[in-house]
Amino acid sequence: IFFRLFLSMSVLGKLCVVLLLCCAAAQHDFPSETGTLPPEPPRPSATELTNEQGLTDRGRAIIVTVSIVASTLSIMGSLFIITCFCYLKRTRQVALRLVVCLSFLDVLSMIGTYLSSFKAICTFGGWYVTMFDMCPLLWTTCISFHLYYSIFKGKRGKKVFLGYFAYSIGVPLGLSLVGLLMGIYGDTGDICWIEDEGMRLAFFYIPLWICIAYNVVKYVLITREFNRIFRRHSLLRASNQLHRLKAYPMVLALCWTVATVHRILEWCFPDSAFPFWLFVGHYSLSKLQGFFNALVYGMDPFLLKELKHKCLGTAPPWDHEKEEIEIPNSGISQWQPARVGEDTEMGVQGPMALPAALPGHDPSMPGTSMQISG
């Protein structure tokens, strides 16, 4: 009966039946000549580094090693900044105190790398990483705010450091304690941190990029105002310190971009296997913030000269001669050398220092006195 029905079908119908039979045969496991089923596909070998659950044991061991090496480099870079600040008295300007505090917070943050690799204290390690990884992020916004307020408002002050510390430590402490009460810390498969992908975004990555966006907006305003004042004048050495201070929050964005992309991909595709290089980029760059900060700090020519004189035991040169710079369309014509060791808000170590109240000067008042710190 079926054979007669098959013969009575059209050519298209016959082709459809043949295709259906072929598909059914392909999905059926026929026994081999020896009467056994075909061999199973090979299982993942021990050399694989990632899978759908994240990292394999071998991959995790490599990532832990990479994180520890990167964190050690960051700690060494941060200690270099702190040592130079304590050893070289002429580099202790207000602005560089902000950098030293950032380095101190970076050291505390990098200690979390060692703690997060121990599963026995996974909850504590996850809380510590959440707490102290956020402190340097918020401190970079303090640097941005301090520069912006100094240039636009002409304010000076060292007492604001207490407020900066209260903000940079208090906010992460509150968020991390809330996470501890919610029980969000544990083994993520990579490290000991926040287990849920959505909670990672809410408790860390969203605040991270809010800080980065704030820094970008502030530095756009600072650069625009700075260029407006010195558009026609080649006071490049006076702007060196500003550009270096702008680099520290930019290092933040560089270090956390790959990590953010990785976490967003994990959140959007939870059952996917990601390439191992993404894990390496995540856990190496995110731990090198202190190292990159030391590179920015070490590119200061004045710092290098001070280190050279300290190592050789020679006295650094100091020029007390008065400079006269005529700035058109303004009443600023007199420049006085600052006293040795005078603490300026911008803390320029080079031949010129940008006065804190410069943008707020009155052009109608001739003979306004400005200082250049040697």
Q: With the CA atoms of 269, 274, 277 and 282 taken in that order, what torsion angle do they form, in degrees rounded to the nearest 10?
A: 30
What distance in Å separates the CA atoms of residue 298 and residue 280, rounded to the nearest whole number? Answer: 26
Most confident of 64-68, 250-254, 342-346: 64-68
pTM above 0.85? no
Q: Is 304 left (phi over 0), alpha (psi -120 to 50) or beta?
A: alpha
Whose CA is closest to 147, among 78, 90, 225?
Answer: 225
The secondary element (H helix, E strand) that includes residue 98 is helix 94-115
36: in domain:
no
Q: Are 309 and 89 contacting, i.e. CB atoms less than 8 angstroms apart?
A: no
Residue 335 lies in a domain: no
pLDDT digits (tens, 9 = 90+) for 308-352: 877 777 766 554 333 333 333 333 333 333 343 444 444 433 333
User: Quick count: other Cβ atoms within 10 Å of Cβ 73?
Assistant: 18
Q: Closest Cα to residue 60, out of 270, 262, 227, 276?
A: 276
Residue 40 domain-assigned (yes or no): no
Cβ atoms of 151 and 359 within 8 Å: the answer is: yes
CATH, residue 157: 1.20.1070.10
Residue 364 lies in a domain: no
**Which range marks the domain in which residue 183 is found?**
50-312
Is 19 among the domain residues? no
Q: Is the pLDDT of residue 236 over 60?
A: no
Q: How many domains does the chain have?
A: 1
Does 50 or 238 have the greater pLDDT score? 50
- The Cα–Cα gap between 193 and 328 comes to 58
- Token code pair at residue 133: 């990884």
The answer to whether position 100 is within a domain reads yes
Is residue 35 in a domain?
no
pLDDT value, residue 177: 94
Q: Do the domain assignments include residue 165?
A: yes
What is the predicted pLDDT for the residue at 77? Answer: 95
